[in-house]
Structure 1
């Protein structure tokens, strides 16, 4: 199913084909997200009918698309998985990297991750071959919640909880206000609506705390409920709610 039509072109024989930007075509093919597609194009790894693709190039279903000289075709069915990532697995589709998430899951179709979890973190990460939903889920302005369980190296104080919740200066910005709840002497739950690089670790480090363990237990309405290293398909109810939320 293709959600958006750009515009059409007519061949000399009068046949009508739908034109699509190359990055959108690659995302709809289930190969990667649009952002990753642009990166591949910039690296000169994508060809259209034997010619190097450019950012913004248009293609049709009749075009011959290759990445690293391997042919790409559209997927007929989209896949949506909830995966419990173990510590030590890297959130990357680059299969030259040892311990990459794609090789670990070894799914029978090409899939990629939505967002990331640090190599030394564990928990819920969504996997799909639907490139169109990736940015909709990750956009900070959409305020989609992600919940984590965190353990630190020393006793938690009320000042730490208060200051963490107000926003912390890291990476040349101030983190958004967030909800945080102490669950033990050195443990807490935190709900974020953004995903800066190593955000929780950097926030804790700003106040002199080191993260000992970090586990994501929820993304939006989808909860972690499978053993470490296992995955499951999203339910129809979860998918219906997911598409309702990202189309607001």
Structure 2
């Protein structure tokens, strides 16, 4: 692979920016300063450094974010702040996109990747990936209404799949669903005459929020996801 392409793929900059970096002798391969963008590198064996820091090549990258409220799940938006604004500088953003979405006011676990095939796979209706939410409610929830959530409720012409609904206390629950319909958790609670006042996703498939701080980002591996 050409050195300039390698650096672009690693998120160092655009092709034009990378050429300038190389011209300024800020890149080395196997501890040898390289001055040509056309230099070929072996992404599996060669050690590439930019400003003396090793730049590791990964075709696909996977990050989990503990999303803050007030940010929309999108790559860009002309009006609102997006989850991309929450990502620190060390995250390589080239072709990065969120997997699915969390509502603007919803917090919690969001996966971002440049692996389009995985993104499609996880969002496919056939996949039925478990998503667990912590929800605080406007009113006390009865065991009868919890049972309705477990069996499936009508959220506007669509009957939800069976869910796991666990009561934490009178106004707090854990709800695990397999679909990802628009505003699904909120609509499910409305279907049992209640309202979500706070919502946080705490797991997505094998991924768990655990002790991540609000706004924190972690890089994960493919085997952590599937």
Distance 1:108 1:76, change over 3 A: closer
Q: 1:200 aligns with which of 165, 172, 185?
A: 185
1:98 aligns with 2:98: no
Distance 1:224 1:241, change over 3 A: closer
Contact 1:83–1:125 under 8 Å retained in 2: yes
- Measured against aligned partners, the alpha-carbon deviations of 1:58-84 in whole angstroms (never above 9, x if no partner) come to xxxxxxxxxxxxxxxxx9521100100
Query: What residue number does 2:68 align with?
Result: 86
For 2:223 and 2:76, how far apart are their aligned partners in 1? Answer: 31
Which stretches in structure 1 are left out of the alignment for 5+ residues? 1-28, 31-74
Distance 1:184 1:221, change over 3 A: same
Contact 2:207–2:224 under 8 Å retained in 1: no
Length-normalised TM-score, structure 1: 0.64
CA shift at 1:93, angstroms? Answer: 1.1
Equivalence map 1:9-20=2 (5 Å): none
1:229 aligns with 2:215: yes
Tell me the matched-pair count. 168
Distance 1:161 1:152, change over 3 A: same
Contact 1:95–1:103 under 8 Å retained in 2: no
Higher strand share: 1
Equivalence map 1:1-248=2 (5 Å): 77-106=59-88, 107-110=91-94, 111-225=96-210, 226-234=212-220, 236=221, 239-240=222-223, 242=225, 245=226
For 2:224 and 2:209, how far apart are their aligned partners in 1? Answer: 16
Provide the secondary structure at the position in 1 that maps to 2:197.
strand
Length-normalised TM-score, structure 2: 0.70
For 2:58 and 2:132, how far apart are their aligned partners in 1? Answer: 32
- Measured against aligned partners, the alpha-carbon deviations of 1:113-140 in whole angstroms (never above 9, x if no partner) come to 0010000110000011111111101122
Determine which structure has more spread, i.e. the larger CA radius of gyration: 2
For 1:134 and 1:157, how far apart are their aligned partners in 2? Answer: 37
For 1:213 and 1:81, how far apart are their aligned partners in 2? Answer: 24
